[in-house]
Structure 1
Amino acid sequence: MEEKLKMSDRKIKVILVGLGRIASKLELDPLRKKPCTHAGVLFSGFGKKNFELGLAIETKEERRNDFRDQWGLPPEFPILENLNRKQIESFARAKSASHLAVIATPSSSHFDTAKQLLNFGIKNLLIEKPVALSKKEGVLLRNLMNKKNARIWVNHERRYHPRYLFVRDLLQKGSFGKVQSVRANVFTSAKNPGLAFSKSGGGPLLHDGTHAMDLIHWFFGKPKLNYAKLVFPKQGTIEDRATAWFSAKNGIEIYLDVSGGRDYFQFELDILTNSHRLILSNDGFQFWEGKTSELYKGFQSLSPIQIPKFPDSEKSNAFLGIYQEIVEVIRGKKNRQEGNIEDNIHILDSLESIYNFRKSE
């Protein structure tokens, strides 16, 4: 029966490179909406119908052991310590199924890992953000991808979140009026910095601010930088904070604030139009509309409103969204990729303009 299945019906074979937080470990967080990792998707009901994890790669032995335990994998399941050209080329040449490689390693390794996989014959890549550490690397990766006739997705997951998609559609239709100003915040804590404060992972602007910059590009188009400021610790080359003022098309002014020195985590996009205010946040989505004021005679004040048919939070999952698109594109049911390499080159260009602004002053 398996031999009679069409290629479009067969499961997509997956290589998972890196078995850390976003690959698997965050699935153990009892408070997060599931699935919230790549392995979580692959082992979900949807994942099991469409994908088959055939190979994993992780340099750290402890993580390899933890991964086996977490997902109940048998001892014979192949988890390699490093990329093995012979095994990956064999994986890529198999005619029985399409394939996908997921790169969930530290940011500094994305470029080299993707290059190797493309050169080994892998045709579909999903790479964690940022796709590379510089625009130059992004361009080189795009050129190699085109040469190898391959595809690259980048996991800026909010592009696939039903609530962000819903709001973006209404904004583009003009349902909230004309956008005039935007405030984007990404705040994290230096007490638990991960790779956001390391030379290998970049500062909070590159490591975390990329999410805000992605939404700015996605919602409003590529903006032009007017002013930027970076704050550095007394000793060190990795910024503590980055602020920037951009202008986008149609007169939209955008203020970006990325900081790693807060005692809390917050991601928020505050959009102000001529008639509405919208807050899109990890803490929730809120909407206001200008109505006759109860405080000042002859004035309009913002009043909270409910949005009809707003997606249910329980049914909103960005990780499932990006993998659904991957399935549709690989099986020929869809052509367009939402989080493609070209968009991410533009995002890296905008981030670099902030880093380079200080040098040009």
Structure 2
Amino acid sequence: MKPRKINVILIGLGRIASKLEKDPYRKKPCTHMGVISSHWGKKNFNFVSGYDTKSDVCDEFANTWKVKTNQLPTELPSGFEFPKVDLAIVATPSPTHPFLAKQCMESGIKHILIEKPVAMDAKQAKSLEKMAKAKGCKLWINHERRYHPSYLFVKKELEKGSFGDLKSIRASVFTSAKNPGIAFSKFGGGPLLHDGTHAVDLIHWLVGKPKLIHSSLERPKKGIVETRAFANFRTQNQVEISLDVSGGRDYFQFELDLHTDSHRIICSNDGFQFFQAMPSRLYKGFHSLKSFVPKGFPKPEVSNAFLGIYSEIVSVIQGESEHMEGTIGDNVQILESIESIYRFSK
């Protein structure tokens, strides 16, 4: 028997929900609605309704996708419930994530996908985790790089030992603060929370939760969020990790630079590069790093992280699998690592 379609609602109809789909350079689909309305998505999902607090956003979304939308009041009335669908997607500003996710659980929705960061601090995330456990709900948090075929390939090969023993990781997330949005407002958290969370997530995913050794923050004015966060971590296996999350650049750059005892792997939004130790042509008796493409590395046309996370969600909802990446428990630990950077720097 063919599985029935999954009924879904989307809360928050802005950038990651829909608007990035208009970016001509991004690999599609690159938004939640882009996945749901794709050829694959239409086979698996039935879109029930979209929700936003702004009427013009609701109208634009409805006109773009030819679907039903509902305007939410800024403060939900007592007793308000979302329709009891199979899946709810929370793609609103970060401070609203915990409240709306709880409203979904109170409405009887058992599967919820929440944009990162799941909450503004670990305490809020733990509260969500506790409620989800009590109500038997499954929560995904959209750190989508965990589902990207290229990152999955690197993780698998590291675990197999194909690239040698991991020795160090240098993670950098550089953004622009020339037109600051919520990530640079005193109410919405800084670049470490909003952008650095992706790097911290990948570090946890690759090596587990590391121990913080040192951290520092830069704040141009007292009382506002940081413009730069720098931290050093170390794992039980003595993998040294540095993290640099900074604003004020004229470019965006996300990169993990992995060094093993025999290889170097650069994982970046500009692409992936692989190097292996070979006899040097410059220094007799030494080895130098030479670039290569490892066998089995995914081709660009199959590399789409959004389809990966939604494929997992479909498998879990339809009872075909119990495996979940990026759970609420993982994200409690991510927020704990981020908070340790803030605490140590004081």
User: Which bin holds the TM-score, normalised by the shorter protein?
Assistant: over 0.9
Is 1:307 aligned to residue 263 of structure 2?
no
Query: Partners in 1 of 2:228 and 2:289 — Cα distance?
Result: 31
**Matched position secondary structure for 1:249:** coil
Q: CA offset at residue 70 of structure 1?
A: 1.6
Match of 1:351 in 2: 338
Is 1:150 aligned to residue 137 of structure 2?
yes
Query: Partners in 1 of 2:96 and 2:213 — Cα distance?
Result: 31
Query: Partners in 2 of 1:209 and 1:349 — Cα distance?
Result: 13
Match of 1:230 in 2: 217
1:129-185 CA deviation, whole Å, 9 max, x = no partner?
011111100110000001111110000000000110011000011110011111000
Cα RMSD of the aligned pairs, angstroms, is 1.4
2:184 aligns with one of 197, 201, 212: 197
Q: CA offset at residue 202 of structure 1?
A: 0.7
Query: Partners in 2 of 1:200 and 1:35 — Cα distance?
Result: 31
Query: Partners in 2 of 1:86 and 1:43 — Cα distance?
Result: 31
Is 1:110 aligned to residue 90 of structure 2?
no
**What TM-score results when the alignment is normalised by the length of structure 1?**
0.92
Structure 1 residues 84 and 329, CA gap change in structure 2 (3 angstroms): farther
* Structure 1 gap ranges (5+): 1-5, 93-97
Matched residues, number: 344
Match of 1:81 in 2: 72
Identify the range of structure 1 (192-201 vs 171-180) with the bigger mean alpha-carbon deviation.
Answer: 192-201
Is 1:178 aligned to residue 165 of structure 2?
yes
Identify the range of structure 1 (202-211 vs 56-65) with the bigger mean alpha-carbon deviation.
Answer: 56-65
Is 1:40 aligned to residue 34 of structure 2?
yes
Is 1:188 aligned to residue 169 of structure 2?
no
**Matched position secondary structure for 2:163:** coil
Is 1:335 aligned to residue 329 of structure 2?
no
Is 1:52 aligned to residue 49 of structure 2?
no
Which amino acid letter does the alignment assign opposite residue 37 of structure 1? T
Q: CA offset at residue 85 of structure 1?
A: 7.6
CA contact (8 A) 2:227 2:248 kept: yes
Match of 2:22 in 1: 28
Query: Partners in 1 of 2:79 and 2:122 — Cα distance?
Result: 31
Match of 2:282 in 1: 295
**What TM-score results when the alignment is normalised by the length of structure 2?**
0.96
Query: Partners in 2 of 1:15 and 1:85 — Cα distance?
Result: 20
Q: CA offset at residue 235 of structure 1?
A: 4.5
Structure 1 residues 84 and 336, CA gap change in structure 2 (3 angstroms): farther
**Matched position secondary structure for 2:114:** strand
Query: Partners in 1 of 2:101 and 2:293 — Cα distance?
Result: 44
Q: CA offset at residue 111 of structure 1?
A: 0.9
Query: Partners in 2 of 1:41 and 1:54 — Cα distance?
Result: 15
2:193 aligns with one of 203, 206, 230: 206
Match of 1:282 in 2: 269
Query: Partners in 1 of 2:86 and 2:290 — Cα distance?
Result: 50
CA contact (8 A) 1:221 1:249 kept: no
Q: CA offset at residue 273 of structure 1?
A: 0.5
Query: Partners in 1 of 2:69 and 2:23 — Cα distance?
Result: 26
Q: CA offset at residue 118 of structure 1?
A: 1.0
CA contact (8 A) 2:54 2:71 kept: no
Match of 1:65 in 2: 59
Structure 1 residues 163 and 85, CA gap change in structure 2 (3 angstroms): farther
Match of 1:163 in 2: 150
Match of 2:125 in 1: 138
**Matched position secondary structure for 2:184:** coil
CA contact (8 A) 2:81 2:103 kept: no
CA contact (8 A) 1:85 1:120 kept: no
Query: Partners in 2 of 1:331 and 1:122 — Cα distance?
Result: 15
**Matched position secondary structure for 1:263:** coil
**Matched position secondary structure for 1:261:** coil
Match of 1:13 in 2: 7
CA contact (8 A) 1:193 1:260 kept: no
**Identity percentage of aligned residues:** 57
Query: Partners in 2 of 1:142 and 1:202 — Cα distance?
Result: 21
Match of 1:3 in 2: none
Query: Partners in 1 of 2:213 and 2:178 — Cα distance?
Result: 31
Match of 2:258 in 1: 271
Q: Which runs of 4+ in 1 moved over 6 A?
A: 84-87
